[in-house]
Amino acid sequence: MSGPSPPRPPQAEASWTPWRTVVGFGMVSLAGDMVYEGMRSIAGPFLGSLGASALTVGLITGAGEALALVLRLFSGPLADRTGRYWSLTILGYAMTAVCVPLLAVTPFVGSLGLALAATLILLERAGKAIRSPSKSALLARVAVAVGRGRGFAVHKALDQVGAFAGPLLVAAVIAITGVDWPAFAVLAAPGAACLLLLSTLKRHTDSTELETRPTVLAPARASTVIESRALPVPFYAFATACALGTLGLMTFGVISFHLVDAGLVSTAVVPLIYAAAMATEAVAALVTGFAYDRWGAAVLYTLPAVIVAVPALALANTLTVVFAGVLLWGAVTGVQDSTVKALVADLVPQPRLATAYGVFAAFQGVAALVGGTLAGGLYTEHRTLLITLVALTQILSAALLVVTLRRRAQHPPG
């Protein structure tokens, strides 16, 4: 009589399919987006209530977006070099889960309130920078089995459910309490849920086909940032094209400041408008993601054309026109954070994937800082000049996108 069969290893029982893993990443992003998108939905008016001017709002929110992007130049190569994709992802989400609720105390520290709020916003954006290359690399590798366009699109759609729900939660809290600071405290709940979901996802994906071995480099290249020449020329053309697009897109902090400053809506309504933009992001990500897998990267030619219209509409003095601009802003943001990432993954060799996402984000980060400062500085008296400058940058962006796709066809990644 044979004895009982030995139990199967727990990790083998816990393994998830690629689609289930993609959905798992989407659920983590859903909870995380409730936290930081809820915060971003009222960042402009909130900073204004603490004494910030339009230029200061543009600087803080632009610097935040720049930090969230430029720091990936270091966190991406660090992930590839050490293989600590999961550790960096968890750390980044933890920073968001802690910093956003702490914004609730800033109205009660007197003259230090604005400085503390700015610091917490920048730290939260640093958390985004720490986690994003690692998370994107993990997602890109598992999404190969389902189609990268589809994988990133489905992930982005789930992500945007949180980006939609977070501002709605914030709007509800402000409507009930009449003030904005309790909304930040409430966001501690989805922050805790995000970390719990992330822990569960890690347990169920440790034994899947996700490769987490560190990239081995020669000693001469043992620096924090992997040598830039390791990435192909079409990648840099594409990064520059997208950076010009980011420069043309104002931060929502400037747009939300305009909504309240121009008397178009009250602060409580701003998160609702932001939620609508997040819903548009989800739709745009799904449509372009599936189109990318079916017809290729040519779908990205729509970006420069749409970006041209954003400042002209979003800084108008009529609510319906501004709302149309906000929806276009959301659509472009959705494509930039989903389908654009799919093309990045197709432009570079897999061992350089997190590095590429880091370098790509650094290009966008510099552009975000310049764009936020430019929009804030020209907002009051020089809006026509701002609109003209954006149009010129998008002509150059479109030209570089043409170069990218032609060079990609001639020299596919190895």
Q: What is the Cα–Cα distance from 67 to 364, expressed in whole angstroms? A: 10
Confidence of residue 154 (pLDDT cuts 50, 70, 90): confident
Confidence of residue 216 (pLDDT cuts 50, 70, 90): very low
Q: How far is CA 365 from CA 47, 69, 98, 125, 374, in A?
A: 21, 4, 23, 11, 14
Confidence of residue 410 (pLDDT cuts 50, 70, 90): low
In the prediction, which pLDDT does 228 show?
Answer: 44
Domain of residue 135, CATH code: 1.20.1250.20
First and final C-alpha spacing in the chain:
55
Q: How far is CA 170 from CA 37, 41, 95, in A?
A: 10, 8, 20
Mean pLDDT of 182-204: 92
In the prediction, which pLDDT does 385 show?
Answer: 87
Longest pairwise C-alpha distance within the chain = 90
Mean pLDDT of 337-348: 81
Mean pLDDT of 377-386: 78
Confidence of residue 1 (pLDDT cuts 50, 70, 90): very low
Q: What is the Cα–Cα distance from 350 to 354, expressed in whole angstroms? A: 8
The answer to whether residue 224 is domain-embedded is no
In the prediction, which pLDDT does 379 show?
Answer: 72
Mean pLDDT of 152-163: 82
The answer to whether residue 321 is domain-embedded is yes
Please check the confidence at residue 99 and state whether its pLDDT lies above 90.
yes
Residues 226, 358, 347, 241: is their CA dihedral positive or negative? Answer: negative
- The predicted-structure confidence for 72-91, as pLDDT tens digits, reads as follows 878 888 888 888 889 999 99
The answer to whether residue 218 is domain-embedded is no
- The predicted-structure confidence for 49-71, as pLDDT tens digits, reads as follows 898 887 888 788 878 877 887 78
Please check the confidence at residue 213 and state whether its pLDDT lies above 80.
no
The answer to whether residue 87 is domain-embedded is yes
In the prediction, which pLDDT does 252 show?
Answer: 80
Confidence of residue 321 (pLDDT cuts 50, 70, 90): very high
- The predicted-structure confidence for 28-37, as pLDDT tens digits, reads as follows 999 999 999 8
Range of the domain at 182: 16-208+229-410
The answer to whether residue 6 is domain-embedded is no
Q: Are 286 and 189 within 8 A, CB to CB?
A: no
**Overall domain count for the chain:** 1
The answer to whether residue 291 is domain-embedded is yes
The listed range with the strongest mean pLDDT (140-149, 184-193, 231-240) is 184-193
The answer to whether residue 216 is domain-embedded is no
